[in-house]
Structure 1
Amino acid sequence: MKSNAPARQAGARGHRLAALLTDTFWGRLTLRATALAIVLIAWQMAGDDSVALLFPTATRTFQAFIELMADGRLPLGLLVTGQALLAGFAIIIGIGVPLGILIARFPLVDRTVSPYFTFLVAVPIIAIVPVVQALLGLTFAARVTVIVLFGISYVVINSAIAVRRVKPELIEMAASFGARRLAILTQVVLPAAVPGIMTGARLALGQALIGMVVAELTIVGAGVGSLIAELQGRFKVAAVLAVAMTIVLIGLCLLSLVEMLERRLNRWSLTK
């Protein structure tokens, strides 16, 4: 029995270390920084700067990023693109969450509306982009519409599922104490459905980022879409990759913010 004690102690230390790295902010930051360092080293080793058209190294890509930031083209493109993304995501949340709640609470709304959002999930949205362009033209509204189409179904469906999964006994208990429908919705149903709603918001944000790029590359060259098209035409491979990596990093930052908000709202839901 004594011979197994060191192994058990080593296993316990391993579990504590794993918990420290995954359950704390600094632990998660350390893991992500380590993963990023490994990717950058591999990228630097895989790149080739001998010819401009070859896959660039991380250092050449970073130099291209500095140049784009210095001449102001990348900040301006991100500003223009960010406006469409912000407007589209606001519409996704503002319409998607209430609509998901209505679908879950009213069977008539469910039978009427749900098939359309199932269609949006099943069909590649890029196939609908020409229709949006024909209806709205080369406008800001067209870009926002594409972003909304890419992401809204995830919020609607996840919100509806989350509301349906609220335990009936919680609603019955609140009703037995005389709570009205609005109070049951705001104080019982929504707090219990927060995890599912936030999962839908996180998925929708990822899809909205994809829709943002698709809209600018297919409908109208605006923002980073215009910048990418210009750089591609001039065969600036490192600069194109720098813009793409900037979009990826911004997307990761936005997703991290949504995750932080999700954890805060989850704590609020557990206190209700």
Structure 2
Amino acid sequence: MAADKVKGGAERPRWSLDRLVETGLGRTLVRIAALLALIGAWQLAGNDTIGLLFPTFGRTLVAFWGLVSDGTLQVALLVTNQTLLAGIIVMLVVGIPVGIMTARVSVLDRIVTPYITFLVAIPVIALIPVIQAILGLTFAARVTVVVLFGIPYVIINTAVAVRRVDPVLTEMATSFGASRLVILRDVVLPAAVPGIMAGIRIALGQALIGMVVAELTIVGAGIGSLIADLQGRFRVAPVLAIAVTIVLEGVLLMTIVEWIERRLGRWSQS
């Protein structure tokens, strides 16, 4: 009898690192271990003396607590996230329908595609002086910057996802007498969900960048102004604490998008 078999011929379970990582607990443990390793490396690479040197994790944590305890960070995040939320809403409300129509109406495709290519090809920050000249130092100007950073990726990925829907599905629905609206709602959109959500994930990352850039370049309250103020006083640790906060907010947004994508995945598969 083989050594790796028990009575009755069943194979003993073989535990390996790959199998452990594939489990939910394993993935969590790996992420925690990677995070602890990163924090340890950060602590070793940093410097605890106050000045312009790269701060340790402990010094950054103290600076973060100082910003939280006096309410400075919360107020800045509230103002900044108003800009981000408004920008995301505009990106989705405008970007997804334009992407769908671009994929299904050839004339609109010829009109929209050159401008979308233009926004992807050039650094959007170069357009900020133009936006500021038109809209001034306003909330609308900051929202516009956020939208311009992210909306091209929503439109492009939505259009590509709609174009890649299997034509057999639409032809079958047409043969059963389904209208264009019904085909779009019940066939095209569910099949295009993965591509659309991929575009939204990319757009959110770009929107976060646009949020900070808008507030650093267009005078106003929020995270950008707080960073500029701290940099002017050579306070490196608080600036790094704010940067880490923005990263954590980005991770939270991506987690929410993944949860929404899983929920929409059931509709897509049906």
Alignment partners' CA distance in 2, 1:253 and 1:135: 33
Contact 1:159 1:193 in 2 (8 A): yes
2:77 aligned partner:
78
CA distance in 1, matches of 2:170, 2:90: 29
Q: 1:187 maps to what in 2?
A: 186
Q: Which residue of structure 2 lines up, in the alignment, with residue 220 of structure 1?
A: 219
- CA-CA distance at 1:18 after TM superposition: 3.2
Verify: 1:16 aligned to 2:22, yes or no: no
Q: Structure 1 120/219 Cα, relative in aligned 2: closer, same or farther at 3 Å?
A: same
Question: C-alpha deviations, 1:132-184, integer Å up to 9, x for none?
Answer: 11111110000000000000000000000000000001001111111111110
Please identify, of 70-79 and 228-237, the stretch whose mean Cα deviation from structure 2 is larger: 228-237
Superposition misfits of 4+ residues, deviation over 4 angstroms = 2-5, 8-12
Partner of 1:164: 163
SS at match of 1:128: helix
C-alpha contact 2:137 2:220 (8 A) present in aligned 1: no
Retained in 1: the 8 A contact 2:21–2:27?
Answer: no
Residues 126-165 of structure 1 mapped to structure 2, 5 A cutoff: 126-165=125-164
Residue 221 of structure 1 and its aligned partner are, at CA, apart by 3.6
Residue 233 of structure 1 and its aligned partner are, at CA, apart by 1.4
| Residue-by-residue CA offset, 1:53-96 (whole Å, 9 max, x unaligned) | 21110011000100100101100000000000000011001100
Could you tell me how far 1:16 is from its partner in structure 2? Answer: 2.2
Structure 1 residue 30, shift from structure 2 partner: 2.6
> Could you tell me how far 1:222 is from its partner in structure 2?
1.8
The question of 1:248 aligning with 2:243 is answered no
Q: Is there any run of 5+ residues in structure 2 with no aligned partner, and where?
A: 6-10
- The gaps in structure 1 that reach 5 residues or longer are none
SS at match of 2:16: helix
CA contact (8 A) 2:21 2:30 kept: no
- TM-score normalised by L of structure 1: 0.92
- Deviation, structure 1 residue 15: 3.9
Distance in 2, Cα, partners of 1:107 & 1:192? 21
SS in structure 2 at match of 1:52? coil
Number of equivalences: 264
Q: State the 1:31 CA deviation.
A: 2.5
Amino acid aligned to 1:87: A
| Equivalent residues of 1:221, 1:229 under 8 A apart | no
In the alignment, the residues of structure 1 paired with residue 202 and residue 85 of structure 2 have an alpha-carbon distance, to the nearest angstrom, of 15
Contact 2:215 2:225 in 1 (8 A): yes
Structure 1 counterpart of 2:40:
41
CA distance in structure 2 between the partners assigned to 1:268 and 1:180 by the alignment: 20
In the TM superposition, what is the alpha-carbon distance from 1:14 to its structure 2 partner?
Answer: 4.1
Tell whether 2:118 aligns with 1:119: yes
Contact 2:20 2:26 in 1 (8 A): no
